[in-house]
Chains A and B, each alone.
Chain A
Amino acid sequence: GQQLNQSPQSMFIQEGEDVSMNCTSSSIFNTWLWYKQDPGEGPVLLIALYKAGELTSNGRLTAQFGITRKDSFLNISASIPSDVGIYFCAGSNYGQNFVFGPGTRLSVLP
């Protein structure tokens, strides 16, 4: 089945730093969704992308739909302690089920 890879698996950054993570697929998607999950809670939708090349922001978060339609990127600017959590990407192609990446675990050091 389809697989999504997320990079990096985990990252430790200092408060105030910018963060970049990406998600790659072996097949093309027409929808990319980015989520953040806190321990014991469900994923919270951060950004949705629907067009190749699309760049969308949500506060300090910016995500891009890769032009090959096989990847997507999430950037967080000026990280703060509450950014700690696991970030998931999810992709879907024309009516197929969403496939989720394994997540990137973000830790923010004060």
Chain B
Amino acid sequence: KAGVTQTPRYLIKTRGQQVTLSCSPISGHRSVSWYQQTPGQGLQFLFEYFSETQRNKGNFPGRFSGRQFSNSRSEMNVSTLELGDSALYLCASSLVVRGATNEKLFFGSGTQLSVL
């Protein structure tokens, strides 16, 4: 069974631009979460989607948005990029909804975003 797939792997953008990152969860998984990872802040939760509905949102500005499609694939968008948005963006999928018993998060390899 294929793992979580994130595209692209690397991205270089300039300040003010916008970016869209894509995540395909493990087949059959309906929950997708997004995290931002930086050396200083560690892994920070962005948002979680289940069955095309955003169920949880982290403490990030409105420039960060996401959506989930009917096939469970998810995208996140960052508008008006800032230098501080440079980070590894990780997507994680789960078979069950947040809070269900035996929940596990499986991560993709991430998208390394550099903002110049």
Which residues of A does B touch, CB under 8 Å? 1, 31, 33, 35, 40-45, 48, 50, 88, 90, 92, 94-103
Given A33-B105, A48-B102, 9 other A-B contacts at CB below 8 A?
A: A35-B107, A42-B108, A43-B90, A45-B104, A90-B105, A92-B98, A92-B99, A96-B99, A98-B105
Q: Is the CB of B104 within 8 A of A48?
A: yes
Q: How far is the CA of A1 from the CA of B59 in the complex (A)?
A: 10
Does B45 belong to the interface (CB within 8 Å)? Answer: yes
Q: Is the CB of B109 within 8 A of A100?
A: no
The one of B4, B42, B90, B98 that contacts A97, using a Cβ cutoff of 8 Å: B98
With contacts defined as CB atoms under 8 Å apart, how many contacts are there between chain A and chain B in the complex? 57
Does B58 belong to the interface (CB within 8 Å)? Answer: yes
Q: How many residues of B contact A (CB 8 A)?
A: 26
A98-B110 contact, Cβ under 8 Å, with A33-B104, A90-B105 = no
Q: How far is the CA of A90 from the CA of B42 in the complex (A)?
A: 12
Q: Which residues of chain B (47-80) have a CB below 8 Å from chain A?
A: 48, 56, 58-59
